[in-house]
C-alpha cells in the first residue's frame, strides 16, 4: 500500500506516526511538504502521487484547492483522497465542496473527530468518522487503520461533516471567551446546549444531517477542541478577553470570516455566530455572551 501524506505540520506528522506504528505494516509512507526543508529526503510529487493508494491532505483549508490543481494531471482516478483540513477557504466553500468540485465522487472523504495531534504524538488514542460515499473505499480505509491508535467509523454525511468541522473550531473560541471571563462550568454547560442546537441548524442549512452535530465530527470534536490546552481556537478566546485582541492564527477565527461572507444576511438566524461577530469586531464586548444566556 502506497500512502502519501501532504503537509508536515502537527497533524501530518501525527498521521505518519499512526500509520508507521501499525503492526506488521507493509505500507510505504511518503511525507511531502511545500517547504522542502521540513522533510528529509523528500521525493517529488510526480514520483509519489501516481502510484498512491491513499493521499491524506493535512494542510490548511486555504491550500487544498491549489494542491489538487497541482496533482490532478498525475492523479490515479482510483486513489482515495482523505482530507483532514477543517475550514472554509476564501472562496466560501467547505472542504466537501472543494473536493467535490475537483475529484470523482466516492474517491474522496473527510476524516473528522477528536484527533488532537499533540495527544497522538504522546501515544494516546484518537477517534474519527470517515465521511465518504463509497462503502468499499471506507472498508479499505478501515483496514488501513485497523490495529492503530486511530479508531474510525463511517458516515455518509460529507456535507454535514465538512461544516461541523468548521463550526467546532469557531464555537471553541466561545468556550475560550467563557474561561477568559471566568464564568465557570455551569455557564459553559448551558452554552454547550445552545451551541449544539445552533450547530444542528447550520448543518441543515448547508445540506447536511442534523444528527451529525451529535457525533464525533460535531460534539466529539468540539469537546476536544474547546477544552484542550493544545487548542489554538480555545486559546484565541481566552486571549480576546484578557488582551482585548487576538494574535493566534487558529482555523476558528480564520474560517469565521469566510463563513460570515458565505452566510451573508442569513447569519442573523444564528445568534451565537452574531455574538461572536460583535466580539471579534470589538473584544471589549465579550460580556455580550453573558447577556445572551442571562
Which of 112, 198, 127 minimizes the C-alpha distance to 159?
A: 112
Strand partners for 2: 28
Q: What's the length of the chain?
A: 294
Helix (H/G/I), strand (E/B), else coil: 183: coil
Strand partners for 234: none
Helix 185-205 vs helix 158-181: angle between axes, to the nearest 10 degrees? 150
List the catalytic residue out of 22, 86, 124, 168.
Answer: 168
**Spatial separation of the C-alpha atoms in residues 195 and 146, rounded to whole Å:** 33
Which of 160, 165, 163, 158 minimizes the C-alpha distance to 92?
A: 163
Kind plus residue range of the DSSP H or E element containing 20:
helix 10-20
As given in the structure block, the three cell numbers for residue 201 are 441548524
Q: Alpha helices, DSSP H only, in the chain? A: 10-20, 45-48, 61-71, 95-102, 117-121, 135-145, 158-181, 185-205, 221-227, 232-243, 251-263, 271-281, 288-292
As given in the structure block, the three cell numbers for residue 232 are 489554538
**Spatial separation of the C-alpha atoms in residues 133 and 130, rounded to whole Å:** 10
292 noted as active-site residue: no
Greatest CA span in the chain, whole angstroms? 59
Q: How far is CA 177 from the centre of its chain?
A: 21
* Residues with catalytic roles: 168
Amino acid at each position: 500500500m502506497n500512502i502519501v501524506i501532504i503537509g508536515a505540520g502537527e497533524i501530518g506528522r501525527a498521521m505518519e506516526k499512526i500509520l508507521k506504528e501499525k503492526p506488521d505494516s507493509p505500507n510505504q509512507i511518503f511525507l511531502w511538504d511545500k517547504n522542502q526543508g521540513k522533510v528529509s529526503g523528500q521525493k517529488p510529487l510526480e514520483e509519489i502521487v501516481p502510484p498512491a493508494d491513499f493521499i491524506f491532505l493535512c494542510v490548511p483549508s486555504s491550500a487544498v484547492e491549489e494542491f489538487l490543481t497541482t496533482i490532478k494531471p498525475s492523479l490515479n482516478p482510483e486513489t482515495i483522497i482523505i482530507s483532514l483540513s477543517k475550514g472554509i477557504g476564501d472562496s466560501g466553500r467547505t472542504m466537501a465542496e472543494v473536493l467535490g468540485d475537483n475529484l470523482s465522487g466516492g474517491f474522496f472523504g473527510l476524516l473528522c473527530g477528536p484527533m488532537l495531534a499533540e495527544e497522538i504524538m504522546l501515544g494516546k488514542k484518537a477517534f474519527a468518522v470517515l465521511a465518504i460515499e463509497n462503502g468499499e473505499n471506507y472498508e479499505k480505509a478501515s483496514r488501513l487503520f485497523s490495529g492503530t491508535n486511530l479508531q474510525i467509523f463511517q458516515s455518509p454525511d460529507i456535507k454535514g461533516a465538512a461544516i461541523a468541522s468548521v463550526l467546532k473550531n469557531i464555537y471553541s473560541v466561545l468556550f475560550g471567551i467563557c474561561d477568559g471571563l471566568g464564568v465557570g462550568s455551569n455557564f459553559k454547560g448551558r452554552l454547550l446546549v445552545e451551541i449544539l442546537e445552533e450547530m444542528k441548524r447550520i448543518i441543515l442549512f448547508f445540506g447536511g444531517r442534523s444528527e451529525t452535530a451529535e457525533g464525533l465530527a460535531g460534539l466529539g470534536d468540539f469537546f476536544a477542541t474547546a477544552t484542550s490546552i493544545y487548542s489554538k481556537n480555545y486559546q484565541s478566546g481566552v486571549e480576546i478577553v484578557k488582551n482585548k485582541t487576538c494574535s493566534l492564527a487558529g482555523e476558528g477565527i480564520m474560517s469565521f470570516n469566510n463563513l460570515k461572507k458565505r452566510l451573508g444576511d442569513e447569519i442573523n438566524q444564528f445568534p451565537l455566530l452574531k455574538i461572536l461577530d460583535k466580539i471579534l469586531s470589538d473584544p471589549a464586548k465579550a460580556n455580550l455572551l453573558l447577556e445572551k444566556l442571562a
